Structures are given as C-alpha cells and as structure tokens.
A and B are shown apart, each in its own frame.
Chain A
Amino acid sequence: MSKKVLMKGNEAIAEAAIKSGCLHFFGYPITPQTEISEYMAKRMPKVGGLCLQAESEISAINMIMGAAASGSRCLTSSSSPGISLKSEGISYIVGCDLPCVIVNVQRGGPGLGSIQPSQQDYYQATKANGHGDEHVIVLAPNSVQEMAQLTSEAFDLADIYRMPAMILADGSLGQMMEPVDFELGSKREIPEKTWATNGTYGKRKKNIINSLYMDPNELEKSVLARFERYAEVTDKEVKYEEYKCDDADIVIVAYGITSRIAKTAISAARAKGIKVGLLRPITLWPYPKKPLRALADTAKHFLVVEMNMGQMVDDVKVATECKKPVSFFGRTGGVIPAPAEILAEIEKIAGGLN
C-alpha cells in the first residue's frame, strides 16, 4: 500500500504546517482556501495546538504577530482580498523581525472579484505586501506535493531569516487533489529563538519586540540590517526549475499552476518541431535572476505566461537585461489559460524567428 495520501492542496498546506511543528493557526474563512481552516479545526486539538477563527483577517494577522513574538511556529491563510486586509499587520511583523508563514490562495480581482483561480497578486506578494522597505520570502508551488513541501520549507526559511514567508498559490492548486508524500519535508537546522518573548524565568534580560523607533537613525540602522539579511536570502535561497531549456529557442517563464499548463503546450510545440523550454521560478522573491540571465545568451525569445495582465514581465526583462524580446500571454480575472492558447502564442513567436 502506498505511503502517500490523496489531498486537496489546501489540506496539504495545513497538514504540512502541523508536521512542521506549527501550533497556532489564526484565520478567517474565504473561498477558495477555507479547507485550510477546516482542516486545522479538526487536527489542531489532536496535536495540542490551537486553531482560532478570528473576527477578521486583520485580527488574525495581529494574533500571528503575538504568537510569533512568543517564538511559536504559526500560520495564517487567506485569499486575495483577505491578504490585502492583512497588509498592515504583515508590515508590522516585518518591522518586528518575526517569522511566520502566510498563505495566499489567490482568486480573481480586483475587489471582491471572483472565487475562480488567479495570479493577480504577484506585484503585491513580491513588491509590497505592506508599507515600508520590506520583503517577504515568496514561494510558488505548482502541485499538491509542493504545497506541502514548500510549506515545510517556508517555516524553516522564516525561522532562519526571522521574516515572514508566503506561499503564493491559486484556487486551482488549493482545490485540486493529488497524492502527497509528507516525508519530503524540509529538515534544516533552526537557530534558537533567543529573541522570543517567552518568559525570562528571572534568568535573562527581558526581550522587547517592537517596530517603533524614537530615533530615525536607529530605524534606518534596523532597515539596513534587515537588508543585509535580504541580501543573504537573495544569495542563498533562490529556487527554480528548468525544463527542456538546453536547446530552447523560446523559453516560457511561468510559475504555479500556469507552469503545468505551459508544460502541456511545450510538449505539443515540440511535437511540431518548435524548440521550447520552461523556466519556472519557485521562489518569486528572491527571483531567479541568474538562470534567466544565462538563458538570455542561448534563447531567442522569452514568453511570460501568467493569470494576470503581465505582472512578472518587468522582472524577466530586468533579469535578462533586455537582451532578448519578452512577450506576454495571460488570462485574468479568474480565467485559466488553455494549453492550446499558449501553443498558439508559441507558434506566433516561432513564425517570427526566421
């Protein structure tokens, strides 16, 4: 009998969090990610943890700040509009240098938008989850297995670098069911949380966790120190997948569910003799600039495919130093591109490549 289990992406995130030692979940229901809360409500009491449905997303993220300050591994999840509500709290958590994991199972926007899957929160996730000079580590799974695996890695990364890590998924990954093996989780060494406000027991000076600085020079110093850590993350933690790029004239750049659709289109294009490959960023922040820069020397054309209006295009242009043309194809507002539509774009580009 297989040791794997069949799970929805949302459930896989929740179970992976529990297996990573997460003991606090704070959330507020919103389609298409509510299974995370539901699963946590069933499982957390059995592992001695806490699942709490807060009165709002804002409340949930601030509960996360408290739990994270105590040194506990904690998780919150939402979908696009709910993440917007959390943005103030995320900035405070960054300002306090606290680790936590935030899940965004994206849906169509803007506004209340749609419950259908989208990737319209790329800018928000990678550029500005909140105010101030801030970043969070952004991981983009493309299967239910990766929903589990990257959640496990997100907890480790958050603890190692004392910053929030985000799982940026979409509704289709949250809702679809695939087999999962939980033994593939992250097993990194985690530094002791000497900064946690978990009681001095009269044995040490008290820890203070705060994002307010009376002296602007002190605040500047804290931001600079944080950016040194960001440089380390950028240096060490980039993750990506290269697929059939060796001989590729056209390289598709796509993440999450769109990369799976792109692979189907790539097989169809290759059957027609068009050499197409895929560069899939797994970390969206830090961004895989180096492999893209290298591909700019071998490929003739880049095609960005997303479920938005082209939010990643500029990142590809910067990474490739605009050495080769970058086109875009996408559907938005909760519409999923079909493999045939991507194939048509590939053929259009191939036609122009002499």
Chain B
Amino acid sequence: MLKTLKNLQNLTVITGHFGSGKTNFAVNLAKAARQDGRDVTLIDMDIVNPYFRAADNRAELEALGVRCILPDFANTSVDIPSLPPEIFSAFEAYETETDRLTIFDVGGDNGAVALGMYNRFFAQYPYDLLYVINRYRPLTEEPADCAALLGEIEYYSRLKTTGIVNCSNLGAETTAEDVSSTIGWAKDVAERCSLPLLCTAALRELAGELETVPDLFPIENATKFPF
C-alpha cells in the first residue's frame, strides 16, 4: 500500500468533480486496503449517476472480502436516490475496531449533499476527505476553477478536505505522457487549496513509464462498458 494512503482515517470520504475518477479510485483503494489487511467497507453514496457506478464491481469486491453498501435502487429501472440505513453501521462501535476502513464514494459536485445527514457522526470522529481531480475534465481544467469547486463541495458536505488525489486520465486512451504532464498542474491545485497531494492514480499498465512520478498509485479500470 502506498505510504500516503496507508494511514487514512477509518472514515474516508471520496469527493470531486463528477466524472473525475472518484469511483475508480474508491474501488481500487478498497482493494488495496483489503490486501493491506484492513477491514474494508465501500459505501456507494452516489445519488447523481444512474449507471456506471461502484455497484458494478460488487461481486469482485465481495469476493475479496470487501463489504459493499449500495443505494436501495442502484442499477434498477428507477432513479430513486434513497440511501440504506445500513450506512449508519459505519459509525457504530467506531473506537473499538481500529483496522477498519470505511470508504464513502460520494457523487460528484453537489452530490456531496448526501453526506449532510451523517454530519453529526463526522463531527465526532476523525475522518479523511479526499478531493479527486482530473486535468482532462472540462470546467475544472484551470487550477483556480478546480480549487473553487472544492469550496462548493465543502459547502454541500459541511466537511473539510484533508488531501488531493490526482486522477488525471482520458479513459482507455490515456498515455503515460497524459498522466506525467499533469503533475505540475496537480501540485498547483494542491497549493491553492493548501492541501497535500497524496497521490497520482494511473492505470497499472502505465506504471512502468511513470517511475519518476511521486506517490504513484497504480489502479485497474473499474468501469464496466457494455462492449
């Protein structure tokens, strides 16, 4: 497990601009933490996207021993963003189980409003809130816009961000150069937000060409296309 991600708080929330790569990062973080021996729960709290979501990876994650909590109607015929009461279990007996990692995969932008109802718990316990950024997503290409969106997400979630994750990618077409050329940009965003740049996530097959990238977190593509 990457050093900068090893000691994430038991409650770790993943937010960002929608389409930045949050779900891909969350699924890969869940797998890596599980392999690291942590007792991992992944909560799909995306109330924004109708499909292509963490729930698509359920079977694979559960086979690895990751517990998945999904919205009641994920991947059904209806668009009802209701969240199951099971989510409250993430906050139960918090202090007794220190090897737990509960990952909240939150929907993009104002999808962070879904975190509001759990605010009383986040006010009690330490947490990490990671802000996922992608240089290739329109509307957040400029570091200033990217930093401004962070303010919006903090407003909706009523939580404070603790770290930045650079997930800059162009989907299946991403080259190593596409990733390495975003490091300066990601550092700029982190500086503007006065937050640490925790890691740069990139597809595992590109890792060999990205040895000079600091804190590289190799990931697998978790998005399931129909073709």
Contact = CB atoms under 8 A, between A and B. Distances in A.
Most A CB contacts (10 A, CB to CB) among B51, B134, B169 go to: B51
A353 interface: no
State which size class the interface on A falls in.
Answer: 20 to 34
A254 B185 CA distance: 42
B139 A42 contact: yes
Contacts of B39: none
A72 interface: no
Contacts of A115: 50-51, 77-79
A301 interface: no
Q: Is the interface of B mostly helix, strand, loop or mixed?
A: loop
Given A115-B77, A260-B227, A4 B170 contact: yes
Interface stretch (A6-14, A232-240, A290-298, A317-325): A6-14
Contacts of A176: 52, 223, 225
B227 A171 contact: no
Contacts of B178: 1-2
Contact of B51 (A108, A113, A116): A116
Interface string A164-176: 0000000110011
A257 B226 contact: yes
Interface string B60-77: 000000000000000001
A330 interface: no
Contacts of B181: 1
A108 B76 CA distance: 12
Contact of A7 (B19, B77, B79, B226): B19
Interface in A97-144: 108, 113-116
A245 interface: no
B116 interface: no
Nearest to A182: B138
A15 interface: yes
A172 B223 CA distance: 12
A175 B181 CA distance: 27
Interface in A278-337: 334, 336
Interface string B108-143: 000000000000000000000000001111110100
Size category of the binding interface on chain B: 20 to 34
Contacts of B51: 32, 115-116, 171-172, 175
A31 interface: yes
A177 interface: yes
Given A5-B138, A6-B171, A7-B138, A177 B226 contact: no
B172 interface: yes
B227 A31 contact: no
Interface in B211-227: 223, 225-227
Given A11-B138, A42-B139, A178 B171 contact: yes
B77 A114 contact: yes
A73 interface: no
Interface of B: 19, 49-52, 77-79, 134-139, 141, 169-173, 175, 177-178, 181-182, 223, 225-227
Return the 8 tightest CB-CB contacts between A and B, nearest first: A114-B77, A260-B227, A179-B170, A1-B181, A6-B136, A31-B79, A261-B227, A336-B226
26 contacts: A1-B181, A1-B182, A2-B170, A2-B175, A4-B170, A5-B136, A8-B19, A15-B138, A31-B50, A32-B51, A113-B77, A115-B79, A116-B51, A171-B50, A172-B226, A175-B49, A175-B50, A175-B51, A175-B52, A177-B19, A178-B171, A178-B172, A178-B173, A260-B227, A338-B226, A339-B227
